[in-house]
Amino acid sequence: MFPNLTVLAHPLIQHKLTKLRNRTTATRDFKALVNEISTLMAYEATADLPLEPTTVETPLETTAGMRVAGKKLALIPILRAGLGMVDGIVQLIPSARVGHIGLYRDHDTLEPVHYYFKIPGDEEDRLFFVLDPMLATGGSAVQAMSALKQVGARRIRFLCIVAAPEGIKRMLDHHPDVRVFAAALDRELSSSGYILPGLGDAGDRLFGTR
Ligand code: PRP
Ligand code: URA
């Protein structure tokens, strides 16, 4: 339905996502699940990374090997909730650089408000993975992509856990070159901008705020 979207149907991701949605899941478990899902999503979202040949010395002889080509990957969590996805991915890709984009949604207009931007250099040559568990109206993600592109980023992927069709469509309209990876494509947005069925406010559930 959406050419920019890949829904990751791996059984472990879907099992953990169902636990994440559960309203009785406590903050501590919520955090652990977001990390675990992020690790599994990153594994899938990096499956097509280009490799280059290298050599390696084993204890016995020199042999041919492979390494991921190009500059180190950059993980860019959108504050706050994107922070919850970083550790799980760093476990898999310890050399990844980490930048931050600060955005929050105005409660009345649902428009993103920008407050922080700090990312690793060499933007033109780097692959960026922007992280945010929730893609709702798409306002925050679209603005984050625009900010990255403005400083020269050319290769960007977006990893979210739950996406609304409205957000995917907005990403497609504004940034058709950005592949979106999600654990679920949910039904719709509520009149107040929450994803249905969703999992509630990801930032509040991660950090125990309300
Ligand atoms: C949430 C979420 C996304 C944004 C998604 O953040 O983490 O960043 O909303 O909504 P959108 O697609 O309609 O822009 P929130 O604004 O609640 O900020 P917080 O993480 O600081 O609480
Ligand atoms: N942000 C969230 O944290 N949850 C939603 O359902 C929508 C936006």
| pLDDT digit string, tens, across residues 152-207 | 999 999 999 999 999 999 999 999 999 999 999 999 999 999 999 999 999 999 99
pLDDT mean across residues, the chain:
97
Please state the rounded mean pLDDT for residues 18-32: 98
State the pLDDT at residue 47.
Answer: 96
Cα–Cα distance for residue pair 73/85, rounded to 1 Å: 15
The predicted pLDDT at position 91 comes to 97
Residue partners of 202: CB distance under 8 A and separation at least 6: 34, 81, 84, 133, 134, 161
pLDDT given for residue 2 in this prediction: 97
Q: What is the pLDDT of residues 51-91, one digit of tens each?
A: 999 999 999 999 999 999 988 899 999 999 999 999 999 99
Is-catalytic flag, 29? no
- DSSP secondary-structure letter at 47? T
What pLDDT sits at residue 210? Answer: 84
What share of the chain has pLDDT > 70, as a percent?
A: 100
202 lines ligand 2 (CB under 6 A): yes
List the end-to-end C-alpha distance of the chain, in Å, as a whole number: 35
If we measure between CA atoms, which residue out of 157, 144, 131, 178 comes closest to residue 37?
131
Binding site membership of 143 for ligand 1 (Cβ less than 6 Å): no
Residue 134 has pLDDT above 90, yes or no: yes
Q: What percent of the chain has pLDDT over 90?
A: 95
Which ligand gives the minimal distance to the CA of 198?
A: 2
pTM: 0.97
For tokens 């472990």, name the residue. 12
